[in-house]
Amino acid sequence: MDIEDYLEQKRALEAKKELLEAKERLKDDSEKKKRELERERKKASGDRTITPGEPRPEAAASDYSPGDIYRKIILWNIIVLVIIIALFSFLYFYPGDGKAETSTEKDTDTLTGSAVIETKDKNETNKTADDEKKEEKKNETKEEKYPGPEFEFYAEDKELGLFDNSGKIGGENLVTTSSFYDDGILVLDSKEDSVIKCFIDREVTVDKDSDGEEDLRDIDLDFIVDELDNREKTEFKESLPGSFKQGSYGGKGKVMASYEARCYYCINPECEGENGGVDKNGESIRTAKIRFKADPDASTNSTN
């Protein structure tokens, strides 16, 4: 080997060595820059002050330690517990009743117990009364209901004829010069072939000064009680306005007499026994009215 070949090989080895050294330096520089960038990033995420409105960089998963998560959970639990206690305290103490009961618990126990017992007794009494009414209604419902006897009931004037449903004659009010009306007649007319019994109630009202308001009122229950044989017709003379339990009639004013007749089948020919001797399950009702104006200043009886 001559000198030129040796020198050429030496230069090739040196060039190769320099190339390897350059690669190593490049690798070291790259690792160094990477470590510096990592340090800068951690420093920026940990120490940087973020102003309001500035976007916050995403934190790495390593920034949240288990201790931080545990502390946050405890903090939220404490906040929720405080809210629950505040709400309970508000609802318990706000009306004032709960506080008073707590402060005087021993003093009010007896009174509260007594009130509870009294209330319970009243409720039981009301319940018993309601139950009795329901039972009575239930028993009444169980009893068979059917139409009552056929009959006619009406009022008439002995000379002028029938009073209509409103108590007028021929659509006009009766006027009398007398303070009392003595020409009224009540008629019960049975249409049955068996014995029936009728009860008539009467209500009389007087408007003494004709101002549209009632000044006197009197009610007579079972004013007339009468038994009618098969297809019997009975008449009762009526004098109005009659007497009043409260107040006095001055002999002048508008008088209205309303009648209600209730008729039943008799349970025996004598109409005697329970419920007045009648069958209450069969009831028929008819009504009638007499209306007149007592005017002593009028010259003759007339309709007006």
- The string of pLDDT tens digits covering residues 170-199 is 999 999 999 999 999 999 999 999 999 999
Last residue of a domain, one of 96, 114, 142: 142
Distance CA 257, CA 223 (A): 12
Distance CA 227, CA 197 (A): 4
- pLDDT tops 70 at residue 30: yes
Minimal CA–CA distance to 247: which of 193, 286, 206? 206
285 SS3 class: strand
- pLDDT tops 80 at residue 76: yes
Asked whether residue 287 falls in the same domain as residue 263, the answer is: yes
The per-residue DSSP string of 47-71 comes to: HPPPPTTSPPPPPPGGGS-HHHHHH
**Average of per-residue pLDDT across 60-75:** 68
Q: What confidence score (pLDDT) does residue 46 get?
A: 56
Is residue 191 within 8 Å of residue 164, measured between CB atoms? no
Asked whether residue 160 falls in the same domain as residue 270, the answer is: yes
70 falls within a domain? no
- Sheet architecture: strand order including 181-190: 161-162, 151-157, 181-190, 233-240
250 SS3 class: coil
> Which residues span the domain enclosing 134?
104-142
Q: What is the pTM of this model?
A: 0.52
Last residue of a domain, one of 83, 118, 142: 142
Distance CA 295, CA 303 (A): 12
- pLDDT tops 60 at residue 162: yes
Percentage of residues in the chain having pLDDT higher than 70 = 73
Q: What confidence score (pLDDT) does residue 124 get?
A: 58
Q: How many domains does the structure of the chain reveal? A: 2
For the chain, the residue count is 304
Last residue of a domain, one of 95, 123, 142: 142
Least trusted range by pLDDT, from 48-52, 159-163, 238-242, 246-250: 48-52
**Average of per-residue pLDDT across 209-238:** 93
- Residues 6 or more apart whose CB falls under 8 angstroms from that of 112 comprise none
